[in-house]
Structure 1
């Protein structure tokens, strides 16, 4: 049996929220959500710390130090019958800042590895995971999703502000400048990872298609992203479930269908077992739909979202959706096929 563990290493960063889901079979999955980290089951190492208000910090003003945060339980990411890698997805909200206004540190790396022990690991540019002698070794069994804020020529970094995917090495197999899609301008705009502003990132692996999908970092004001996140957490499933019934493959479409029949609560994650306030759950689901609308002007602003959550204003009693509403979810289908076979090998093989 092959067991993998999820590890976080952060430099110059704050982690605000985490939702991750591992699909084991068609009927069963492993999922956990951290809405703040106060009192949660988490293994911390180095200078990692949880603040009084529930934020996870893995860096401070110290130099040459490392901070790690581990999900403490082993997760099986390989189907024991077929030997294929299983699907998984994660989304998390983070913020990074630097004492210097023009440059940052090595950034953030979300990794999947077979162990939480790195006795020879170096800090800074090696992310507390690698060292000078083990870079590129297939025996590392490391898959990393990197938000990098400094350019290292020896690692072939494209710039000092990028998103990349690493396989056993810090020379990334895929990289792109940090950016987000502007609804107003209908184009990609540059995004400063060290701005100190909360941002959200998705990572998804489709075990059926053997595709690794890495969403771009988006600013917290991206209302559509926030809506998709609300629905994922409330319903306890991914935006796209290929094995679901035809009308529920797309999460938003499933919630809209239930809402139109007056049964929106039937989409709530069954693991919650009614341990929630009905009015609050309805608010979250309806707000998630409104934020996910395919027509940008129909979405509320983030200021309005906060006012809805604080119940300062009421949500519209009637939400109008058409079939093209669901086009917006196509972002989950944009796969990076060029390295899917590498990812499959790393997820399936090794220790």
Structure 2
């Protein structure tokens, strides 16, 4: 469930049956290989390599039948294989892998990292997958309730394991012996299903000992509903033992030895030369070493958790052509963003190069790593990885060819951003914010929602990015921070006074964002007439005059859906209400935008009543002491997720 480390699979498999026609087989060229997987002539199967965020699959080409009709029971079967995970950084992590029984010999749309090349964010957990997998997992994903970062699990249609255990085996005396999956040592796995007892057993052990009598995992479960029917005859039986003498040699990383060998060679030459030559060699070696150090990176304690996401500085230097000025996509408060093309995969990326002369820069960097690096949502910019070198911090994102939304709103005079696109952008960002506040395993406060941080992909979908100010909180805790952060015009009144951010301050910024998208102007326009300086006030004045649509961007030439435009303007005013408790949750915002719920009848009164009567102990307006009339619908104003 990570990206950086190479995994090598030694796969000699024999599936249960008395003969080939009854389902027993071994891999003798009958393979379907996709992704970055490969097979060499020695019988070595390589599922992944050093390419990041890619997956590899190796399937047996011909279908195998586990039951002979839709309502039939699954026959008994067993299989065994030997694997080794060879890690570039054994102290950190390595790629996970899974043995899979799938209805097809390909898995389209599957994602790497925490999805193990089996599922994606939309189908994980669906019973229609018909997938049974045994995962050998090297990363702990809280999203899927992993027990640790070195475990074996039985997965059925999901990555939340039905049963799991730390990697290891039980001796005949009942003693548990732990194993490290990323040790690089070959290990054998047996997967056995008893069709009569409806029991699935998984056994893991080193290849230098006999198979343990007691399996590591044993689960009672009828697999009949999990498997589909295939054409060949059903199989029923016991897999044969593997011939360990036929195992190919396990490759080992070479990079650790190259420096030592070079040093030994240099010393041998040095000792055979005169004193003058020795000095020249030492000087020459120092020059070479200094040049190599140009790309040397330091690994600190906090990076261990995020090690699998790490890019080499050398690759990013090449990708951006040495961080040339002409590759700059944009500039922000903490550095520049460069366009790049990864040398190994030719994939276009955006590289954010952060300045961190102070600890603040480091905090911004760690915040992005700790949040967006683990998030998966179609309306969030995907963080591919990161790099740290000396005082440079770099984040690598998917490249968004259309740039940021503010370019369309303010820097392209002839922008053809029509109403349909604007309304979808509003809904896309709302969906992303709903995910951050209420759908992920932890509550994330973005703290900097504005058009400059909304990127547009090639299909004009909006993606929320720039998590440099994000705040991560456990569900049930009060997600607040006392550090004032954000952009003027998007900061809620209570935030500027107290510095305490929560989900309601995000909603305020989103409300301002909605108004900005609909009206095509910034929240504060110093050059505008006094009655139009503040966007929200101007829209409210238009509403008072009975023509709220007069505030809609004139570049649209009145080509918009009236009901949608009114909804965006009124909902934007409600979300950016100066009283925190009057703002809706993002789940309610989604309901309004999708037409599932209607705005309250007394909305005009609620929005126009903006008198503050006091603050609670935490500096926020409470329902007891604000004068806004209550909404006529039931609304829960919470500052935490689901």
Where do 1:211-226 residues align within 5 Å? 211-215=199-203, 217-222=204-209, 224-225=210-211
Q: What's the offset of the Cα at 1:102?
A: 2.1
Q: 1:102 to 1:31 in 2, by over 3 A?
A: same
Distance 1:124-1:82 versus aligned 2 partners, 3 A rule: closer
Q: 1:197 aligns with which of 175, 185, 189?
A: 185
Shift of 1:349: 7.5
Q: How does 1:6-17 map to 2 (within 5 A)?
A: 12-17=6-11
Matched residue count: 227
Corresponding residue for 1:336? 218
Secondary structure of 1:139 counterpart: helix
Q: 1:31 aligns with which of 4, 24, 46?
A: 24
From 60, 63, 76, the counterpart of 2:65: 76
Q: State how 1:1-351 maps to structure 2 within 5 Å.
A: 12-23=6-17, 29-34=22-27, 40-80=29-69, 83-182=72-171, 187-215=175-203, 217-222=204-209, 224-225=210-211, 330-331=213-214, 336-338=218-220, 340-341=221-222, 343-347=223-227
TM-score (normalizing by structure 2)? 0.33
Q: Could you say if the C-alpha distance between residues 47 and 348 of structure 1 is closer, same or farther in structure 2, counting changes exceeding 3 Å?
A: closer
Rounded Cα–Cα distance in structure 1 between residues aligned with 2:196 and 2:171: 31
> 1:180 is paired with a residue of what secondary structure?
strand
Q: Which has the larger radius of gyration?
A: 2
- When residues 190 and 114 of structure 1 are mapped into structure 2, their CA distance, relative to the original with a 3 A threshold, is same
Asked if 2 retains the 8 angstrom alpha-carbon contact of 1:24 and 1:77, the reply is no
Tell me: CA distance 1:187–1:80, structure 2 relative to 1, closer, same or farther (3 Å).
same
After TM superposition, give the deviation of residue 82 of structure 1 in Å: 7.1
Q: Deviations over 1:111-141 (max 9, x none)?
A: 1111133332111221112001111111111
SS of alignment partner, residue 146 of structure 1: strand
Contact 1:141–1:350 (CA<8 Å) still a contact in 2?
Answer: no
Shift of 1:79: 2.9
SS in 1 for 2:184: coil
Deviations 1:52-94, CA, capped at 9 Å, x for gaps: 4321111111101111101000111113497111111100001
* TM superposition shift of 1:51: 2.6
Query: 1:106, 1:113 → 2: CA distance?
Result: 21
| Kept in 1: contact 2:18–2:24 (CA 8 A) | no
Instruction: Please tell me whether the aligned partners of residues 168 and 179 of structure 2 are also in contact (alpha carbons under 8 angstroms).
Output: yes
Q: Distance in 1 between matches of 2:149 and 2:93?
A: 8
Does the 8 Å CA contact 2:36/2:48 hold for their aligned counterparts?
yes
Query: Distance between the aligned counterparts of 1:153 and 1:335, measured in 2?
Result: 21
Q: Distance in 1 between matches of 2:86 and 2:64?
A: 31
Cross-structure match for 1:317: none
Greater fraction of residues in strand: 1
Structure 2's unaligned 5+ residue stretches are 232-642
Gaps of 5+ in 1: 1-10, 226-327
- Asked if 2 retains the 8 angstrom alpha-carbon contact of 1:161 and 1:192, the reply is yes
- Structure having the higher helix fraction is 2
Mark the CA change 1:82 to 1:173 in structure 2 (over 3 Å): closer, same or farther.
closer
CA gap 1:164/1:29 in 2 versus in 1, 3 angstroms: same
CA drift at 1:345: 2.2
Any conservation in 2 of the 1:211–1:335 contact (CA below 8 Å)? Answer: no
Once residues 331 and 108 of structure 1 are traced to their aligned partners in structure 2, the CA distance between those partners, rounded to angstroms, is: 23
Larger RCO, structure (CA 8 Å, separation 6 or more): 1
In structure 2, the CA distance between the partners of 1:162 and 1:335, relative to structure 1 (3 Å rule), is closer
Distance in 1 between residues matched to 2:162 and 2:174, nearest whole Å: 28
The answer (yes or no) to whether the contact 2:82–2:188 under 8 Å persists in 1 is: yes
Change (3 A) 1:337 1:44: closer
Relative distance call for 1:73 and 1:28 in structure 2 (3 A) is closer
Please, what TM-score do these two structures have when normalized by structure 1?
0.59
Taking the aligned partners of 2:144 and 2:106, their CA distance within structure 1 comes to 23
Shift, 1:104, TM fit: 2.0
1:231 corresponds to = none
* 2-structure distance, mates of 1:161, 1:335: 14
- Measured in 1, the distance between the counterparts of 2:196 and 2:174 equals 32
Alpha-carbon RMSD: 2.9
- CA displacement, residues 119-167 of structure 1 (integer Å, 9 cap, x when unaligned): 3211122111200111111111111100001100111000000000001
